[in-house]
Amino acid sequence: MLMKRGVMREFLASWQLASVEKEKQRWEKEKSQLKASIEENKERMLKLESYWIEAQTLCHTVNEHLKEAQAQYQALEKKYNKAKKLIKDFQQKEVEFIQKEDAERRRLEEAEKAHLAEIHGLQVRIAVLESELMQLMKQNGIQVNNNNSNSSERLGVQQHSPSRAAATPPDTRCPHPPDQQEDHRDASSSSRGQVWVGGDGAATSVEAAGGAECSPRKTLQDSPAKSSPSHGQALHSGSTEPPASESPKRSKAKVRSADWCSHMHPCPS
């Protein structure tokens, strides 16, 4: 029994020792594990601390960028507001310019219409004045006053030599060279006429081109023959009828010579 108890005690002691050893090994293992975990945690803490420092620097840089961005945003906002105001002013000026342009266009159109109406009125007035001028020219061209001295002179020459008056060449009545006949023919075509001289010198009518420059009667316009009232009345009457006292042969000769001179050798006034 004693041996059994001693064996049991030894067995219990060995078992306790083994359990203590096991517990010791377990605690050492846990201690090593804890140390390893502590080291790992330290490393992690260092890494996290570095990360945190990097994050702080990044936050600082981000804050700086944010401040710069805010400043740029404020500057851009100011520029945007200024540009918006300029655009608004430009649009307003554009609207005003369009309105002014429309008003100017309307004014120019009204002025152009007024000018066209004025031009039309002036053209109508010019046409009326031209027609009146043509009528006056026709009337003045048909009835040309001759002076009394020329009528009395021609009457005296015809009474002394009737055949000489019929044979008078056209050169002596209108001293124009033959090369000017074509130049003056168109100018005198609108105002040609006849000359009738009575035997008693009572009536004379001449149809010439714009005046009596082609005839030598122009130089005798202010002669003393104005004292004859019958001659003056006959000259201003514009009669184209030959007097009964003059023979048809003598009247035809005088008509040919005077009409040829006024038709072929007109003198421009």
Is 28 part of a structural domain of the chain? no
Q: What is the pLDDT of residues 96-140, one digit of tens each?
A: 999 999 999 999 999 999 999 999 999 999 999 999 999 998 888
Q: Which residues contact 15 (CB under 8 A, 6 or more apart)?
A: none
Q: What is the pLDDT of residues 163-178, one digit of tens each?
A: 444 444 444 444 444 4
pTM, two decimals, is 0.32
- Better-predicted residue by pLDDT, 119 or 162: 119
Is 35 part of a structural domain of the chain? no
pLDDT at 2: 63
Q: 178 and 120, same structural domain?
A: no
Is the pLDDT at 269 greater than 80? The verdict is no
Is 100 part of a structural domain of the chain? yes
| Three-state secondary structure string covering the chain | CHHHHHHHHHHHHHHHHHHHHHHHHHHHHHHHHHHHHHHHHHHHHHHHHHHHHHHHHHHHHHHHHHHHHHHHHHHHHHHHHHHHHHHHHHHHHHHHHHHHHHHHHHHHHHHHHHHHHHHHHHHHHHHHHHHHHHHHHHHHHHCECCCHHHHHHHHHHHHHCHHHHHCCCHHHHCCCCHHHHHHHHCCCCCCCCCCEECCCCCCEEECCCCCCCCCHHHHHCCCHHHHCHHHHHHHHHCCCCCCCCCCHHHHHHHHHHHHHHHHHCCCCC
Confidence of residue 21 (pLDDT cuts 50, 70, 90): confident
Q: 230 and 206, same structural domain?
A: yes
- Better-predicted residue by pLDDT, 248 or 77: 77
Is 70 part of a structural domain of the chain? no
Boundary residue ending a domain (114, 142, 170): 142
Is 182 part of a structural domain of the chain? yes
Q: 240 and 170, same structural domain?
A: yes
Is 205 part of a structural domain of the chain? yes
Q: 216 and 128, same structural domain?
A: no
Q: 119 and 148, same structural domain?
A: no
Q: 195 and 154, same structural domain?
A: yes
- Contact criterion met (CB below 8 Å) for 204 and 196: yes
Measured in whole angstroms, the distance separating CA 89 from the mean position of its chain's CA atoms is 31
Q: 165 and 214, same structural domain?
A: yes
Mean pLDDT of 29-49: 89
pLDDT at 208: 37
- Better-predicted residue by pLDDT, 191 or 132: 132
Q: 227 and 186, same structural domain?
A: yes
pLDDT at 9: 77
The domain in which residue 200 lies consists of 144-264
Q: 258 and 220, same structural domain?
A: yes
Q: 170 and 234, same structural domain?
A: yes
pLDDT at 174: 42
Boundary residue ending a domain (142, 172, 206): 142
What average pLDDT does the structure give for the chain?
Answer: 68
Is the pLDDT at 80 greater than 90? The verdict is yes
Boundary residue ending a domain (107, 123, 142): 142
Q: 258 and 186, same structural domain?
A: yes
Is 126 part of a structural domain of the chain? yes
Mean pLDDT of 221-240: 41
Q: 213 and 148, same structural domain?
A: yes
Confidence of residue 81 (pLDDT cuts 50, 70, 90): very high
Is the pLDDT at 267 greater than 50? The verdict is no
**How many domains would you assign to the chain?**
2
Is 16 part of a structural domain of the chain? no
